[in-house]
Structure 1
Amino acid sequence: MGSISNNLGKNEAYLREQFLNCSDIIFRSFIMKDESKLLLIYIDGMVRLQSIEDNVLKPLIFNGLPQGIDKIESLAEMFRCEWLPLTNVKTEETLEGLINHILQGSLGILVDGNVSSLITQVQDYEMRSIEEPQKESALRGSKEGFVENIRTNTSLIRRRIIHPNLKMESFKIGKYTQTEVVLAYMQGVADERVLLEVRTKLNKIDLDGVIDSAYIEEWIENSSFSIFSQIQNTERPDIAVASLLEGKVALITNGTPFALILPITLWSGLQSADDYFERFVFALLTRWIRYVMAFISLAFPAIYVALSTFHPEMIPTNLMIGIATARESSPFPTVVEVFLMMFIFDGLQEAGVHLPNQLGPVVSIIGALVIGQAAVEAGIISTPIIIVISLTGVAAYTIPRYSLMLPFRLIRYLLLFWSGFLGFVGFTFGVIVLLIHLVMLESFGTPYLSPVAPFDGVRIKDLIIRYPFWVRNGQKKKGRD
């Protein structure tokens, strides 16, 4: 049954069959003043009941339809002109379309003798208020974060970019969920080839349901088997806006507070919002500290194993004597010690993430102190290993993007494995394999190591030094200076 019948009983029977065993679907039948039969269908908990009673039931039951014009036109005209508090009123001529609107939280109205229905948007369901982002906190800047409602998220972007060139295209993805995904971009700034590729991939997605933006991310990224994400996720509207102004594309998914930004590079994961909110001198210092600490988190355990096991002559004599003395009672090789402590540290970190907020930090800190101290006193682990793993763990937390911390964690184990067998030869081999993979990797046509490889002298300036905004725009600072 496709089109709406002029027999209200047939329409109601079909709809009740489709919504069988759906206790939250409400059917309410009424007889208007002119004795016309009326049927309202909506989902309990997703509509404003007070609005329905004030703007639909009372006018229709007590006043009826205006006289002298057709019923369906009168019904639509009545809502559009006389009872305007119900916004976005439209008609629907198919039962499939009516069902789709009802499932999205709209109110469906059927009148006996009419071959079309009236759809009014009266959605009203619980949603989280706008709060400060939890995963991307910044010392300065906006404290607003995306929420699970897609219209709230698009409005947060619209409030910051007041220009008609900001385009937002809508897609419905998911056979059962019909999740709305908005493609946001700046017309004339974004690369048309990237837009075409994104549209094509979105239209090819074949999923039963989309619960989170991660479903979209895995489907559209270029190299799904790479451990490096080619799409950045963010819950900060200011980061999304800055990316759009740079010519990037944003994907906003209904039901998730994370927007997807593309294309990106490796260096995007090492840049923080505070880099552009604090004075450029301090941003330069903190950025280079972050680069150094990121390298330490990636390679320090492997370098320590290679030096202490295969190349002790490269370590100062006094320091090497201290390391050897501390390891004298240890029953395990250095590589095994480092692996055990790394594994325990990552396990405690994972436990802290999944435990309640009040218990997570306590378990992580106390667990690390107790286990580390007990292992040293028992002679299982040497003291230098505790220092190496602690510094490595702290250094990893300087990486702003959690999506970059995860591949760094895996690469840390791989480099440790090669260094434990071949020393610096194995370490060099692992680094070369990593660089080859990164050079070959692309994010929607953008090389992953750009602007370093291939080298771009203009774009690399912002990577090395955070210039003042008036320098980046090619303008001279006005004033007494």
Structure 2
Amino acid sequence: MDFSSKLSDNMSYLKEKLNVDTNFDVVYRVIHVGGREACLYFIDGFTKDEVWLKILQAFSTLKEDSMPEDAHAFSKKYLPYGEVGLVKSDSEMIGQLLMGVSCLFIDGYDSCFTIDCRTYPARGVSEPEKDKVLRGSRDGFVETLIFNTALIRRRIRDPKLTMEITSAGESSHTDIALCYMQGRIDENLLAMIKDRINKLEVDALTMNQESLAECLYPHKWYNPFPKFKFSERPDTAAASILEGNIIILVDNSPAAMILPSSVFDIIEEADDYYFPPVTGSYLRLSRMAISVLTLYLTPLWLLLMQNPNVIPSWLEFIQLSEPPHVPLIFQLLILEFAIDGLRLAAVNTPSMLTTPLSVIAGIVLGEYSVKSGWFNSETMLYMAFVTIANYSQASFELGYAFKFMRMILLVLTALFNYWGFAIGVILSVCAVVFNKTIAGKSYIYPVIPFNWSKLKKRFLRGRLPHKEK
């Protein structure tokens, strides 16, 4: 529906449509502009009061004979603010109002003036808790979309940096920003992502990026290895854009979704580049080796415990010091679930109680669980290593992918011994090898297809390229 030139008709329609008598935060004020009656609509808490104070002061000087006949001419001449638009459709106006844009109606004009003087409640851009670095910038993304785009713009001052805005969700109308560098991205991938976002038929992106990720990549949900890399660091997002990736920012989410992402992209961290090449290469190789250990250490130990005759003499110290009261497979699986339970408990524990409860948990679950006979000390040792080592890389999704594959390996090894371990190893390798990125390319490129020069860069951090003048 298009608006009328009569202010009273527009106000009556919006009174019913916006339910202004019930919604206390939908505010409207009747004012006078140049001798004409006008009405201002805005959402309480989303508007910069000082901006509107200056605009209303400017309106108070207008005379009736100075009012132009055309709404466009009025906006150009008498609205002293940069972000001003004209809207004729009620659906577009209501959508912008609920996003926080102030809307002004003036009697005699059949258009609504939209003045974007929004301000959102936001926390400071402090360093994210999960993506911490030993050296480097200490700022991080927040839940406000415009702040996140500004953090990227601050790092890439190039006109080729493009940030397109769209929205999804019939009820939420959640803002989504696509950030990329023109000339460096895969145009086919960009077109595919835009098409899938435009065709989304969801009521709301209730889980922010996870909801969007499941809509963008609905295939092979059973493969636990992540298809996207998530980062709360603006420097990581900016570096990915310069490398030709696409960054997706979702309003109300403090994380950037980076795509396409291979397993090597997900394992990489900012510390790899904030240190000299030798140190960065060591950190990267250590992280890769530890990730492999977290997957295969406990299944391999279980296999050796089931076949003590194959243990070489120099490895005899890994054998159990006491006979187990509970089968080893059950000990390992119980600890896998117990560790997740403790992790969830730590998330919901008040910060003031974290230290004393950690001490109690360490004593009770460590010493007494061994003395009671539920667990052997060797089982506790190897599971403690796996749990701590799992935090060597920042991706929660990749950590849980390793965990799921490790549990499958443990069950297969316990049931079928050598054959079970071999089948589990093959299954875990196939889960990575046959996985695909959202662009449809190999998940382990440059291993498949093989490219030695790029593979070397994945394992060893070389000097950053410099352009010669």
Q: For the residues of structure 2 that align with 1:181 and 1:171, how far apart are their CA atoms?
A: 5
Quote how far apart the aligned CAs of 1:72 are: 3.3
Is the Cα contact below 8 Å between 2:101 and 2:118 reproduced in 1? yes
2:162–2:182: 8 Å Cα contact kept in structure 1?
Answer: yes
Q: How do 1:70-469 and structure 2 match up within 5 A?
A: 70=69, 72-73=71-72, 75-80=74-79, 84=80, 86-211=81-206, 212-221=208-217, 222-309=219-306, 311-317=307-313, 320=316, 323-324=319-320, 326-328=321-323, 330-360=324-354, 362-364=356-358, 366-443=360-437, 444-469=439-464
- 1:49 maps to 2:49: yes
User: Does structure 2 retain, via aligned residues, the 8 Å contact 1:40–1:108?
Assistant: yes
SS in 2 for 1:374: helix
- 1:218 counterpart letter in structure 2: E
Q: Contact 1:352 / 1:359 at 8 angstroms: preserved in 2? A: no
Given that 2:120 and 2:144 are in contact with CA atoms closer than 8 Å, whether structure 1 keeps it comes out as: no
Q: Distance in 2 between matches of 1:24 and 1:94?
A: 22
Name the aligned partner's letter for residue 106 of structure 1: V
TM-score (norm 1): 0.91
> Distance in 2 between the 1:178 and 1:234 partners?
23
TM-score, normalising length from structure 2? 0.93
Deviation digits for residues 377-411 of structure 1, max 9, x if unmatched?
12222111111111111221112322211111111
Could you tell me which amino acid in structure 2 is paired with residue 227 of structure 1? P
How many Å separate the matches in 2 of 1:457 and 1:466? 14
Q: Deviations over 1:450-480 (max 9, x none)?
A: 111222112101122111224xx698xx9xx
Tell me if structure 2 keeps the 8 A contact 1:31–1:37.
yes
Distance 2:90 2:74 in 1: 18
Structure 1 residues 411 and 66, CA gap change in structure 2 (3 angstroms): farther
Distance 1:124 1:340 in 2: 49
Identity %: 27
1:208 Cα deviation from its structure 2 partner: 0.8
CA contact (8 A) 1:145 1:235 kept: yes
Distance in 1, matches of 2:271 and 2:65, equals 61
Measure how far apart 1:322 and its partner are. 7.3
Q: Partner amino acid for 2:460?
A: I
Instruction: Give per-residue Cα distances to partners, 1:142-193, cap 9 Å, x unaligned.
Output: 1111111111111111121121211122211111111111111111111122
Farther off after superposition, 259-268 or 339-348:
339-348
> Are positions 1:18 and 2:13 aligned together?
no
Give, in whole Å, the separation in 2 of the partners of 1:24 and 1:127: 18
Equivalent position SS for 1:367? helix
Q: CA deviation at 1:355?
A: 2.3
- CA distance in structure 1 between the aligned counterparts of 2:61 and 2:467, rounded to whole angstroms: 68
Please state how far the C-alpha of 1:42 moved relative to its aligned partner. 1.0
Aligned to 1:8: 7
1:69/1:384 Cα in 2 relative to 1: closer, same or farther (>3 Å)? closer
In structure 1, C-alpha distance between the alignment counterparts of 2:74 and 2:67, rounded to whole Å:
12
Letter in 2 for 1:296: L
Q: Secondary structure of the equivalent of 2:351? A: coil
Corresponding position of 1:29: 30
Question: How many angstroms apart in 1 are the aligned matches of 2:355 and 2:37?
Answer: 62
**Secondary structure at the residue paired with 1:11?**
helix
Question: What code does the residue aligned with 1:121 have?
Answer: D
Alpha-carbon distance in structure 1 between the residues aligned to 2:445 and 2:73: 61
Give the whole-Å Cα distance in 2 for the aligned partners of 1:254 and 1:215: 13
